[in-house]
């Protein structure tokens, strides 16, 4: 400018500091858009013909880029795409792969929100979903021909069934069906499903990736082509992760291995104790030899632990399960999982309320089933807490 800018102009057009030194924390680019030096550069970036950021909603942001690159590295995939939540991530995967008149295949054992997405939301788009027992490989193989995609959870919510990723990935490849997996309960520390042929590896970053109960986010790790498909969908539908949440995810990833080891140790201690208690009818934890998929989990997780999630069937049905939760003092009655605090919830009335009683029975969710997300507290305090709670049931 040939004249000195006015006060408001100077206030708006501040000076951005130049940074040449590395920091352990990625900067938060808390911005919705980015400036271009020319209209041609703007047009080329909008068409993804040149590198650069344009608009945080799907068109790039350095903080989101850093988180996605880190997730791709940890899941050993070519690329990743971040989302506003785990459900936004799954919704984008499913609607990017299936169109009206299409059919998908999924496991019967699913998180209640995912189940509702398959049974209530996708049918509005003219997409049907066949639910099959993922441990019945013959049933999966019979359902796959012509499917738009197949979806399963590495560790199912809440019965902790463990998917035979190698066998399922091979089946999907043989039938030319894209394979999708929710790896939230396992985290990339325990297993990388892409190594077994899964094309889309989803996470609710709200859980173990963030790890501190202070963010909502999702991410899908996939190929470059897969990311382009998801990106083109999310640009039109929204659901993009925010820069601050991406920064929180990056912070969480630094301690993911340490936390998952502690979560797994605490869950194993709880499962062992609860498994021998007379007021507990059954414990679902893949680390126990009594779990039907223990051998699959043992081979899949390669001695890194069996995760921080377990479920217990308390004697007394609904009343027994709720009474147990209500009597706990260290553990919190709360939604979500995978963070610092131990959390519990009665599955039938909360996380899986979308299931009918019949559908819950098919999925193996008993009336008194309580889901436990083991936190990182001292194990002895958690054991004492469940002991005194069971005394009151």
d(CA 5, CA 378): 60
| DSSP result, 44-108 | HHHTTSS-S--BTTTS--HHHHHHHHHHHHHHT-SEEEEESSHHHHHHHHHHHH--TT-EEEEES
Q: By the 8 A CB rule, do 165 and 198 touch?
A: yes
β-strands 218-222, 79-83 pairing: antiparallel
> Is 392 designated active site?
no
> Is 182 designated active site?
yes
Written as six digits, the tokens of 207 are 């859980």
> Is 207 designated active site?
yes
**Of residues 164, 182, 199, 385, which has the active-site annotation?**
182
**Of residues 57, 262, 360, 371, which has the active-site annotation?**
57
Give the other-Cβ count within 10 Å of 302's Cβ: 9
Written as six digits, the tokens of 288 are 């126990």
d(CA 171, CA 209): 29
Distances (CA, A) of 294 to 108, 139, 257, 272, 287: 19, 21, 22, 14, 6
**Of residues 115, 189, 207, 367, which has the active-site annotation?**
207
> Is 57 designated active site?
yes
Q: By the 8 A CB rule, do 287 and 305 touch?
A: yes
Catalytic residue numbers?
57, 111, 182, 207
């Amino acid at each position: 400018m040939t004249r000195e800018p006015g006060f408001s102009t100077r206030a708006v057009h501040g000076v951005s500091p130049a940074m040449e030194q590395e920091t352990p924390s990625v900067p938060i680019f808390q911005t919705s858009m980015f400036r271009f030096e020319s209209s041609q550069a703007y047009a080329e970036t909008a068409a993804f013909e040149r590198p650069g950021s344009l608009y945080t909603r799907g068109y790039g942001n350095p903080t989101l880029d850093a988180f996605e690159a880190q997730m791709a590295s940890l899941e050993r995939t070519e690329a990743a795409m971040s989302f506003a939540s785990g459900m936004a991530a799954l919704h984008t995967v499913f609607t990017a792969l299936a169109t009206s008149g299409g059919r998908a295949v999924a496991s019967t054992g699913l998180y209640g929100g995912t189940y509702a997405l398959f049974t209530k939301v996708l049918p509005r788009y003219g997409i049907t979903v066949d639910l099959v027992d993922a441990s019945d490989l013959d049933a999966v193989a019979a359902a796959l021909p012509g499917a738009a995609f197949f979806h399963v959870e590495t560790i199912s919510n809440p019965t902790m069934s463990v998917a035979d990723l190698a066998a399922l990935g091979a089946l999907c490849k043989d039938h030319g069906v894209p394979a999708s997996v929710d790896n939230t309960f396992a985290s990339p520390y325990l297993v990388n499903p892409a190594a077994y042929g899964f094309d889309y590896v989803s996470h609710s970053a709200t859980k173990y990736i963030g790890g501190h109960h202070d963010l909502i986010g999702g991410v899908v790790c996939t190929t470059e082509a897969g990311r382009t498909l998801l990106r083109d969908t999310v640009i039109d539908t929204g659901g993009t992760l925010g820069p601050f949440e991406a920064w929180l995810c990056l912070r969480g990833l630094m301690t993911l291995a340490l936390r998952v080891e502690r979560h797994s140790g605490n869950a194993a201690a709880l499962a062992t104790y609860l498994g021998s208690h007379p007021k507990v009818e059954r414990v679902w934890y893949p680390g126990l030899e009594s779990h039907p998929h223990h051998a699959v989990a043992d081979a899949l997780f390669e001695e890194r632990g069996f995760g921080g999630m377990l479920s217990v069937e308390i004697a007394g049905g609904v009343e027994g399960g709720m009474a147990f939760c209500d009597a706990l003092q260290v553990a919190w009655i709360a939604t979500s999982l995978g963070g610092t605090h131990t959390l519990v919830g009665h599955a039938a009335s909360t996380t899986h309320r979308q299931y009918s009683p019949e559908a819950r029975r098919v999925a193996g969710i008993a009336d008194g089933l309580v889901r436990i997300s083991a936190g990182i507290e001292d194990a002895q305090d958690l054991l004492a807490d469940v002991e005194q709670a069971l005394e009151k049931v």
